[in-house]
Amino acid sequence: MARKRAIVASTRTAPPPEPGAMELLLGWKAADDDKAAMGFSSAVANKAAPVVAEEPILYGEDRHLLTIAPTGAGKGRGVIIPNLLRFEGSVIVIDPKGETWHVTARRRREMGQQVLLLDPFQAVGKRTDSLNPFDLFDRPGALLDADAEMLASLLAGDAGFHKEPFWDNWGRSLMSGVIAAVAETSTPNERHFGRVRELLMSDDAVFNLHTLLENHEDLNRLSKQNISSFLPITEQTRSGILSTAQSYLKVVNSDSALRSLTRSTIDLDAVREGAPMTIYIIIPPDKLESHGALLRLWVGALMLTVMGRRRRPKRSTLFLLDECAQLGEFGPLRQSMTLLRGYGLQVWPFFQDLSQLQRLYPKDWRTIFNNAGVFQLFGVANHLMAKESSELIGDIDADTLRNMAPDRQIIARSGVKAVACRLPDYLEDAPFKGMFDQNPMFEEEPKPAPPKGKKPPEPGLF
């Protein structure tokens, strides 16, 4: 379905990466960190130790990563921002408050990246890019019925508007049929969720659907089947199904959200081909409950685009999924972490605790954990979290985890004994000097005291 799009395709050619720039920074390790990994607390191990240099722990494999750390433990300062300042592959990052964009966007441009910002509520400025998920239907190998069902699932999120799944099953069925019909029959300017809303949210929704079937005799099978099954149902039941489908569309009730879903300024073809780009997705915390579907639609569309690659690009695409639980039970994440490797797709989700992962993926959480090439843990808040994490890692006891200093973490790599080491700190570590911009949300960020017995990394140590 060829059509014109409001996109300026990226023509950027990033310079060759520096040595190690395609590897992810996990932490800083000193020689005596091995003692902490075997059960000695950091304070005891370092009490009388001489000052020793720290070396970076880098990860260059194509396997996925998984981080467990509670709110306020330093995921941005110690993990997400340091990697955006040095990793030269393409990145899609969930940035709820816009802090990461403020601190790292300039540096990403200096790397030769096209920097794009999905910020429908103007959390960081008046400018925002846009991404129409219906662009998925244009990609090579697109399947109208399967993609329509996926978009309906992303829009609806976790089933649970009703105690009985009957309503959600029918609501998704109707939604997928209408999405497929809009994708197939609408003009390029009307092929978006705004058109879906016009069909389903008006007082004449049933009449609109009758007319749609009558005017398009060659309509695709999914639309014909799902809409035709809905129309003859009794009025009371039909009204309940329609209300359920309409509840999914609350995300496009605001003009700002609808505009960001209408005409794309982000080129999915460039994403698929691995063009150097960084996309920041900003949905403020106070909007996540009402507009979480935006997050699911955008991350889902981008992830499905990368999954559709037929060859691996020179540079991988990294998904940094901060506050990953806000996506709900997310099919593309499950698929990528349990089934897919290669094609330059690397997913790094962040959960606040193990129970979030277990609740969202009760059947697959062990597979997700086992398929991660790196498991990262820090900010252990209590005995329960320490006990559960210790049982998962196997190499480190619960007391050691619970007594870790705030700047310490555990890194467990596949096939390698878990190590205790220091979290990076972009504000204090010399290699990041001059790379980052000020975080406007903090006039002056606190400076932690350097750990005893540790010599900070030198500039350019990467």
Dump pLDDT digits (tens) for 173-216: 999 999 999 999 999 999 999 999 999 999 999 999 999 999 99
> Strand pairing partners for 118?
281
Proportion of the chain above pLDDT 70, given as a percent: 85
Indicate the average pLDDT of the chain. 88
* Predicted TM-score of the model (pTM): 0.89
Last residue of a domain, one of 199, 232, 256: 256
Question: What was the pLDDT predicted at 122?
Answer: 94
Note whether 296 and 272 are same-domain residues: yes
Note whether 243 and 345 are same-domain residues: no
Q: How many CA atoms lie within 13 A of 362 on its CB side?
A: 1
Q: Which domain holds residue 161?
A: 133-256
DSSP 189: G
Question: What was the pLDDT predicted at 193?
Answer: 97
Question: What was the pLDDT predicted at 45?
Answer: 38
Q: With contact defined as beta carbons under 8 Å apart, do 58 and 26 qualify? A: yes
Note whether 159 and 279 are same-domain residues: no
DSSP 17: P
Question: What was the pLDDT predicted at 447?
Answer: 52
Please tell me the distance from the alpha carbon of residue 57 to that of residue 393, in angstroms, as a whole number: 18
Last residue of a domain, one of 224, 256, 288: 256
Proportion of the chain above pLDDT 90, given as a percent: 72
Q: Which two tokens stand for residue 377?
A: 């843990």
Note whether 105 and 153 are same-domain residues: no
Please tell me the distance from the alpha carbon of residue 351 to that of residue 361, in angstroms, as a whole number: 12
For residues 279-284, average pLDDT: 97
Give Cα 279 to chain centroid, integer Å: 11
Question: What was the pLDDT predicted at 1?
Answer: 44
Give the count of beta carbons closer than 10 Å to the beta carbon of residue 274. Answer: 20
Is 51 a residue whose pLDDT tops 50? no
Note whether 96 and 187 are same-domain residues: no
Note whether 239 and 216 are same-domain residues: yes
Instruction: Identify the helix (H) or strand (E) that includes residue 92.
Output: strand 90-94
Any idea which of 47-56, 126-135, 151-160 has the lowest mean pLDDT? 47-56
- The answer to whether residue 2 is domain-embedded is no
Note whether 281 and 410 are same-domain residues: yes
Q: With contact defined as beta carbons under 8 Å apart, do 55 and 28 qualify? A: yes
- The answer to whether residue 461 is domain-embedded is no
Is 50 a residue whose pLDDT tops 60? no
Question: What was the pLDDT predicted at 123?
Answer: 94
Last residue of a domain, one of 234, 256, 278: 256
- Residue 89 Rama label (left phi>0; alpha psi -120 to 50; beta): beta
- The answer to whether residue 236 is domain-embedded is yes
> Strand pairing partners for 329?
none
Quickly state the pLDDT bin for 150 (edges 50, 70, 90). Answer: very high
For residues 134-139, average pLDDT: 96
Q: With contact defined as beta carbons under 8 Å apart, do 380 and 354 qualify? A: no
Please tell me the distance from the alpha carbon of residue 27 to that of residue 343, in angstroms, as a whole number: 26
- The answer to whether residue 418 is domain-embedded is yes
Quickly state the pLDDT bin for 424 (edges 50, 70, 90). Answer: very high
Dump pLDDT digits (tens) for 15-33: 554 656 789 999 999 876 7
Question: What was the pLDDT predicted at 40?
Answer: 33
Quickly state the pLDDT bin for 48 (edges 50, 70, 90). Answer: very low
Give the phi and the psi of residue 65 in degrees, each rounded to 5. -125, 160
Dump pLDDT digits (tens) for 322-373: 999 999 999 999 999 987 666 789 999 999 999 999 999 999 999 999 999 9
- The answer to whether residue 17 is domain-embedded is no
For residues 296-308, average pLDDT: 95
Quickly state the pLDDT bin for 118 (edges 50, 70, 90). Answer: very high
Question: What was the pLDDT predicted at 4?
Answer: 40
Please tell me the distance from the alpha carbon of residue 239 to that of residue 113, in angstroms, as a whole number: 49
Q: What is the CATH number of the domain that holds 411?
A: 3.40.50.300
Dump pLDDT digits (tens) for 389-422: 999 898 889 999 999 999 999 999 998 899 999 9
Note whether 184 and 234 are same-domain residues: yes
Quickly state the pLDDT bin for 320 (edges 50, 70, 90). Answer: very high
Please tell me the distance from the alpha carbon of residue 78 to that of residue 273, in angstroms, as a whole number: 30
Question: What was the pLDDT predicted at 288?
Answer: 87
* Cβ contacts of 406 within 8 Å, gap of 6 or more: 73, 74, 379, 448
Note whether 36 and 87 are same-domain residues: yes
Dump pLDDT digits (tens) for 216-268: 999 999 999 999 999 999 999 999 999 999 999 999 988 999 999 999 999 99
Quickly state the pLDDT bin for 314 (edges 50, 70, 90). Answer: confident
Note whether 156 and 122 are same-domain residues: no
Give the count of beta carbons closer than 10 Å to the beta carbon of residue 288. Answer: 15
Note whether 123 and 138 are same-domain residues: no
Quickly state the pLDDT bin for 53 (edges 50, 70, 90). Answer: confident
Q: Which two tokens stand for residue 41?
A: 């607390």
The number of folded domains in the chain is 2
Is 43 a residue whose pLDDT tops 60? no
Give the count of beta carbons closer than 10 Å to the beta carbon of residue 229. Answer: 14
Please tell me the distance from the alpha carbon of residue 191 to that of residue 212, in angstroms, as a whole number: 15
**Burial class for 15, CB neighbours closer than 10 Å (0-12, 13-18, 19+):** exposed
Which position has the token pair 């009371």? 236
- The answer to whether residue 9 is domain-embedded is no
Note whether 146 and 177 are same-domain residues: yes
Any idea which of 46-55, 262-271, 309-318, 394-403 has the lowest mean pLDDT? 46-55
- The answer to whether residue 4 is domain-embedded is no
Comparing CA positions, the residue from 30, 100, 21, 28 lying closest to residue 60 is 21
Give Cα 90 to chain centroid, integer Å: 13
Instruction: Identify the helix (H) or strand (E) that includes residue 27.
Output: strand 24-29
Question: What was the pLDDT predicted at 375?
Answer: 97
- The answer to whether residue 262 is domain-embedded is no
